[in-house]
Amino acid sequence: MSGANAVKEDRLWQRHADMAKLGGTPKGGVNRQALSPEDAAARNQLARWAKMRGFAVFTDAIGNLFVRKDGTDAAAAPVMSGSHMDSQPTGGRFDGMYGVLAAFEALEALEDAGVTTRRPVMAVAWTNEEGSRFQPGAMGSAVFAGAYRLDEMLEQKDWKGVVLRDALADTLKAAPAPLREGAPGFAVDSYIEAHIEQGPRLENERKTIGVVTAIQGSRRYIVTIDGEEAHAGTTPRAARKDAYAAATRLAAALYEATADAHDMLRFTIGRVEVSPGSPNTVPGKVTFTIDMRHPDDAVLVEREAMIERLLVEKTKPCSASLQKVTNVPPTNFDPAVIDLVRAKASGLGLSNMDMPSGAGHDAMHIARLCPAGMIFVPCERGISHNEIENATPSDLAAGTRVLVEVLEALANR
Amino acid sequence: MSGANAVKEDRLWQRHADMAKLGGTPKGGVNRQALSPEDAAARNQLARWAKMRGFAVFTDAIGNLFVRKDGTDAAAAPVMSGSHMDSQPTGGRFDGMYGVLAAFEALEALEDAGVTTRRPVMAVAWTNEEGSRFQPGAMGSAVFAGAYRLDEMLEQKDWKGVVLRDALADTLKAAPAPLREGAPGFAVDSYIEAHIEQGPRLENERKTIGVVTAIQGSRRYIVTIDGEEAHAGTTPRAARKDAYAAATRLAAALYEATADAHDMLRFTIGRVEVSPGSPNTVPGKVTFTIDMRHPDDAVLVEREAMIERLLVEKTKPCSASLQKVTNVPPTNFDPAVIDLVRAKASGLGLSNMDMPSGAGHDAMHIARLCPAGMIFVPCERGISHNEIENATPSDLAAGTRVLVEVLEALANR
């Protein structure tokens, strides 16, 4: 029996149901924020399942939780798969958790099928991917990859003032696991992460597997427009410096200029503040955010220049400024890993399509360490970061079967 | 000596300075909200000045304060002039107060010049024009004119829960004046109100006197646009129901469709709320206010139909609705009073122009009772409802000279 054939759809679905009880909400979602008691409960659950199968379990100084199925070559670097178990405050059952449980199911399936590999195969649950309690997100994978400093992360505080160092200590006390000494990070041969798509493309295109080629780059900006408050009843338009009229001209031009034939560029104005916000006063000041993403950094560079041009053209007689808040370059996954995912999906007879990831994932940090890739499965209507987030047992299992075959191939190379 | 020649610019200016001390703010404005201790202080001040000149003083059940210079015909209905002494929380020295002090200066000037009139000439300070503490505004004049019910107004509460009936009782206790028995309101022959323009037209056109022909009608709306929240990174534009993109299309079309050749229509989007207001979430809901004003009600009717049409056309694939919050029809002042103001201004050699009022004033209610009109004088840069509100002593005196001549003519007809 192949490892892929040993994937048990019911077992995988049941594990999702069991995990969904930890921080479960009345609306069927989860509230399992990073380093909370619910997070500790999920860690304990995963560790219990691992021990029942005889897999080794350990953690590191940022709380990443590892499960290892040994290979035949004790000196070989492992292949790794996983994601995160923390959630948004009103999160779903599948975001992150699917990647952890698919990796664990892969270990079990390989074991059940009696498959041995040269390299160890590891499952990982990265600490604090969501970044909703402690900023920044994707913290555990970033520290593991050396992108963020451990000592700085340990000093982060949540909105109640709780220091991450203390929350982590409490979590590891409630969910003890052997601690790997030293700074986080060790040699990894390759990394593959399964995840729900969090967008509607697979569902719309009737595909089961997304072969993730890249994580798109993202840039975030704050636009500020300064005009002049005036009486709405008495001030003629010619005498106004109406900051919201200027903001509307600019936003309309931006929406138009960011439409593209392939609908690849993501452009969002998500937060808008109009001051003083009185119905009978002409607005004197407007600020709004721009979130812009594309797999090709050159496109972002070009569009940023366009924003700067329109900012001047469209906001007269007001004045406007642009502040760049974040600039995360795109992640391009390893071509060999991408090819392997596509080949294994097709080999299993699963419909698939290449696609970039719209959202950020832990894989973007690990891709700086070693060859990496991702596998997407559909989620209902593309809805995520929402308690109604949903996916089907068969799609989750299909993605896991691809994962098993990819891990097996990587672990024997 | 004519009454107009007896107007004393210095005395009028000093009275403004004295009143500005009552509720004066560090920035040079005033905070003298309706029925506050500061309002009571202003009432006492006006009553003291009146008694020094031997004028009769009385109040009514809604707290309107009247000063009367008798005429020769005890049975004749008075001609009346005035405005209000309450201010916005961060208001200026001239809004309202000028109309009260100009009327009082008119009484003094007529007295100083030894002018007798057939009809009594009265100055009035209407209660609670601003409506910033107790809603609605222009309350005293509306009750006087029978537009609002006294018993309902007495039950109004401010944001701290203070009932107007109690605040009024406290005010009249601190600023006692003989109470006219019965419901507010009595026969008035004609009414003329002096006010700063609160807009920039007189200053821009280099005119000293605004001959106010009308108070424009105003309509206020709330637009609600319902879309669907979505992940900013993963959701293609074609799959979005972006409530803010729809709001921008609608607002851009509205700004364009409300531009008019004569710059008469006032169209303002003053308050905008975008939900959930997260930079990386496509907005699911937007609400914004529309404040629209024009002297001709037919124009407002026609533009409202246009708003309803654009609402449907521009917001797809979202849904949108329009709620009409207020609808105040225009006030057209009495042609004979308008002609009289224009003739007296020209006769005094003062540059003048006909104009509608952009803001509402007590005169809009009294115009339902009797022939009425208004006189505007310039204010600096058109700025009002602001602590930096300013006007010149000579403009204030010029408006008062016109007022004296108009009152004299009306009082002898």
Q: Report helix, strand or coil for A153.
A: helix
A residues 174-233 near B, CB within 8 Å? 197-201, 204, 216, 218, 220, 229-233
Q: What is the pLDDT of residues A143-168, one digit of tens each?
A: 999 999 999 999 999 888 999 999 99
Nearest to B234 among A197, A244, A274 (CB): A197
Residues of chain A with CATH 3.40.630.10: 4-215+330-411
Half-sphere exposure of A149 (CA within 13 A, CB side): 4
Nearest to A232 among B230, B233, B291 (CB): B291
Q: Find the mean pLDDT for residues A337-362.
A: 96
Residues of A in contact with B219 (CB under 8 A): none
A residues 149-178 near B, CB within 8 Å? none
Q: What is the pLDDT of residues A257-267, one digit of tens each?
A: 999 999 999 99
Distance CA B209, CA B172 (A): 35
A384–B282: do the CB atoms touch at under 8 Å? no
Which three-class secondary structure string do you get for chain B?
CCCHHHCCHHHHHHHHHHHHCCCECCCCCECCCCCCHHHHHHHHHHHHHHHHCCCEEEECCCCCEEEEECCCCCCCCCEEEEEECCCCCCECCCCCHHHHHHHHHHHHHHHHCCCCCCCCEEEEEECCCCCCCCCCCCHHHHHHCCCCCHHHHHCCECCCCCEHHHHHHHHHHHCCCCECCCCCCCCCCEEEEEEECCCCHHHHHCCCEEEEEEECEEEEEEEEEECECEECCCCCHHHCECHHHHHHHHHHHHHHHCCCCCCCCEEECCCEEEECCCCCEECCEEEEEEEEEECCHHHHHHHHHHHHHHHHHHCCCCEEEEEEEEEECCEECCHHHHHHHHHHHHHCCCCEEEEEECCCCCHHHHCCCCCEEEEEECCHHHCCCCCCCCCCHHHHHHHHHHHHHHHHHHHCC
Q: What is the pLDDT of residues A365-384, one digit of tens each?
A: 999 999 999 999 999 998 88
Q: Could you give phi then psi for residue A136, rounded to 5 degrees?
A: -85, 170
Residue of A nearest to B294 (CA): A233
Q: What is the DSSP letter of A73?
A: -
Residue of A nearest to B314 (CA): A252
Residues of chain B with CATH 3.30.70.360: 217-328
Residues of A in contact with B231 (CB under 8 A): 198-199, 358-359, 382, 384-385
B382–A252: do the CB atoms touch at under 8 Å? no
Q: Are B31 and B90 in contact (CB under 8 A)?
A: yes
**Residue A380: both structure tokens together:** 């209902």
From B67, B77, B74, B46, select the one nearest B111 (Cα to Cα): B67
> A17 exposed, middle or buried (CB, 10 Å; 0-12, 13-18, 19+)?
exposed
Distance CA B378, CA B199 (A): 8
Q: Report helix, strand or coil for A227.
A: coil
B245–A236: do the CB atoms touch at under 8 Å? no
Residues of A in contact with B220 (CB under 8 A): 279-280
Q: What is the pLDDT of residue B157?
A: 93
Distance CA A108, CA A94 (A): 19
A248–B267: do the CB atoms touch at under 8 Å? no
Q: What is the pLDDT of residue B90?
A: 83
Sorted by sequence, the CB contacts under 8 Å of residue B289 that are 6+ apart come out as: A279, B220, B221, B222, B223, B269, B270, B271, B272, B325
B359–A234: do the CB atoms touch at under 8 Å? yes
Residue of A nearest to B251 (CA): A248
Q: What is the pLDDT of residue A229?
A: 84
Q: Is B351 on the interface with A (CB under 8 A)?
A: no
Query: Nearest-5° angle of CA B306, CA B308, CA B313?
Result: 90
Residue tagged 């891990």 (tokens):
A407
Domain range B4-215+330-411, its CATH number among 3.40.630.10, 3.90.1280.10, 3.30.70.20, 1.10.10.10 = 3.40.630.10
CA B106 to centroid of chain Cα atoms: 21
Q: What is the pLDDT of residue B339?
A: 98
Q: What is the pLDDT of residue A1?
A: 77
- Mutation test of the interface with chain A: which of B196, B219, B231, B377, choosing the one with the most A Cβ atoms within 10 A? B231
Domain range B217-328, its CATH number among 3.40.50.1980, 3.30.70.360, 3.90.950.10, 1.10.3210.10 = 3.30.70.360
Q: What is the pLDDT of residue A37?
A: 98
Q: Is A351 on the interface with B (CB under 8 A)?
A: no
Strand partners, A281: A231
CA distance B102 to chain A (A): 22
Using CA atoms, how far residue A329 sits from A214, A289, A292, A300, B137, in Å, is: 11, 19, 12, 9, 56
A-B CB pairs within 8 A amount to 191
Q: What is the pLDDT of residue B387?
A: 86
Distance CA B406, CA B345 (A): 9
The mean of the pLDDT values for chain A is 95
Q: What is the DSSP letter of A7?
A: -
Sorted by sequence, the CB contacts under 8 Å of residue A281 that are 6+ apart come out as: A229, A230, A231, A232, B268, B270, B385
Q: Find the mean pLDDT for residues A335-352.
A: 98
Distance CA B206, CA B172 (A): 42
Distance CA B322, CA B344 (A): 46
In angstroms, how far is the first alpha carbon of chain B from the final one? 20
Residue of A nearest to B244 (CA): A269
Q: What is the pLDDT of residue B279?
A: 83
Q: Find the mean pLDDT for residues A402-407.
A: 98
Distance CA B243, CA A140 (A): 35
Portion of chain A with pLDDT greater than 90, in percent? 86
B251–A255: do the CB atoms touch at under 8 Å? no
Q: Report helix, strand or coil for A221.
A: strand
pLDDT at A219 over 80: yes
B residues 245-284 near A, CB within 8 Å? 245, 248-249, 251-252, 255, 259, 263-264, 266-272, 274, 277-283
Q: How confident is the model at residue A386 (pLDDT cuts 50, 70, 90)?
A: confident
CA distance A304 to chain B (A): 17
What averages of pLDDT result for each successive group of 10 residues across chain B (413 residues)? 93 98 95 97 98 97 98 96 94 96 98 97 96 88 95 93 97 97 96 95 96 94 93 90 98 96 94 88 94 93 97 97 89 97 97 94 96 97 88 98 98 93
Residues of A in contact with B267 (CB under 8 A): 237
Buried b (16+ CB within 10 A) or exposed e, A252-278: bbbbeebeeeeebbbbbbbbbbbbeeb
Q: What is the pLDDT of residue B277?
A: 85
Q: What is the pLDDT of residues A296-307, one digit of tens each?
A: 999 999 999 999
Residue of B nearest to A286 (CA): B272
A219-328 topology per CATH: Alpha-Beta Plaits (3.30.70)
A278–B270: do the CB atoms touch at under 8 Å? yes
Q: Is B385 on the interface with A (CB under 8 A)?
A: yes
Q: How confident is the model at residue A277 (pLDDT cuts 50, 70, 90)?
A: confident
ipTM of predicted complex: 0.76
